[in-house]
Structure 1
Amino acid sequence: MPVRAPRLCSCGNRVPSGGRCPCEVKRTSERKARFDKTRPNSSRRGYTGAWEKARKAFLLRHRRCAFCGDHADLVDHKIPHRGDQSLFWDRDNWQPLCTPCHSGAKQRQERRQPHEVKQ
């Protein structure tokens, strides 16, 4: 099976096929750090003690992941609330998910959906 040739990074390093140059990794982590500084903390986003209590009660009633049927350990918002507290607390918008489905399938699904612009 043919293997792709290494590529040259903009910094001049030779990078194997499918790999990332250390300078690219550094730029990515710096970009993410800049974003994290602008993002409100979890309690400002609504994840308070009241959320923990409601989440725990929801998971006691809904024990299986909505995607794969495995043990659920997270409550996910079907429609991302993006700060909208009425959507955040709407229990019809909640679904139980396991960590792998929330971190994988659900994140891919959200990236495919265009962001709504509030007016």
Structure 2
Amino acid sequence: MPWAAPRFCKTPGHPAFTGRRCPECSKVWDRERGSASSRGYDQHWRQLREAVLAAEPLCRFCAAQGRVTAATEADHIQPLRLRPDLRLVPSNIRPLCTPCHRQVTAGFNRERGGGGRSQEGIGGCRSGLPGPETEPHTAHEFSPPMDSSGKGPS
């Protein structure tokens, strides 16, 4: 197996590394981030997460595209950083598979200025995935198709 070329961190004094992130910067970031419990993912969250995944076991985005994929993540529709008051509100939680959850989170972090720690975001996640809710009370309702006059079916 070929070796990866060493990469260099932008922070002065950090050694060369292989992989995705500088190990020294990762240590600092992990310390600043805090534990899962300190970020609001405690026993109450774990119970709500299990209830949401048991009630809706398929990924909501994949199901909207006609794919059957098991949901493994419980995602806050309104991100916890922006709406901590909705942390344990079931209507603010949607079940997603890991790839869909990563895409939503990456889209949110891109909107916030890369990394998600420097700026406040505006509203919910707009990642381009099908059916992204931006308010926790949004229901999945589909309107009948319109004809060219703007009227629904007769």
Q: Same fold (TM over 0.5)?
A: yes
Contact kept, 8 Å, 1:78 with 1:94, in 2: the verdict is: yes
How far off is 1:84 after superposition?
Answer: 4.8
Q: Deviations over 1:28-56 (max 9, x none)?
A: 23212211111221111111111111111
1:39-78 equivalence runs, <5 A: 39-69=33-63, 70-78=69-77
Residue 21 of structure 1 aligns with which residue?
6
Distance 2:104 2:41 in 1: 19
- The DSSP-based 3-state class of the residue aligned with 2:37 is coil
Kindly report the root-mean-square deviation, in angstroms, between the aligned alpha carbons of the 2 structures. 2.4
Q: Deviations over 1:56-92 (max 9, x none)?
A: 1111111111221311011011222128531212222
Residue 3 of structure 1 aligns with which residue?
none
Residue 130 of structure 2 aligns with which residue?
none
Unaligned runs of 5+ in 2: 10-15, 64-68, 113-118, 122-154
Matched, 1:108 2:106: yes
Contact kept, 8 Å, 1:59 with 1:75, in 2: the verdict is: yes
Unaligned runs of 5+ in 1: 1-18
Residue 115 of structure 2 aligns with which residue?
none
With structure 1 as the length reference, what TM-score do the two structures score?
Answer: 0.67
- Read off the aligned partner of 2:23 and give its amino acid letter: S
- Read off the aligned partner of 1:47 and give its amino acid letter: Y
Contact kept, 8 Å, 1:45 with 1:83, in 2: the verdict is: no
Q: More deviation in 64-73 or 79-88?
A: 79-88
Closer, same or farther: CA 58–52 of 1 in aligned 2, 3 Å: same
How far off is 1:20 after superposition?
Answer: 5.6
- Read off the aligned partner of 2:54 and give its amino acid letter: L
With structure 2 as the length reference, what TM-score do the two structures score?
Answer: 0.54
Distance 1:82 1:107 in 2: 12
Contact kept, 8 Å, 1:59 with 1:96, in 2: the verdict is: yes
Distance 2:82 2:33 in 1: 11
- Read off the aligned partner of 2:24 and give its amino acid letter: E
The answer to which structure has the higher helix fraction is 1
Q: Deviations over 1:93-114 (max 9, x none)?
A: 21111112212x1133112323
Closer, same or farther: CA 41–83 of 1 in aligned 2, 3 Å: farther
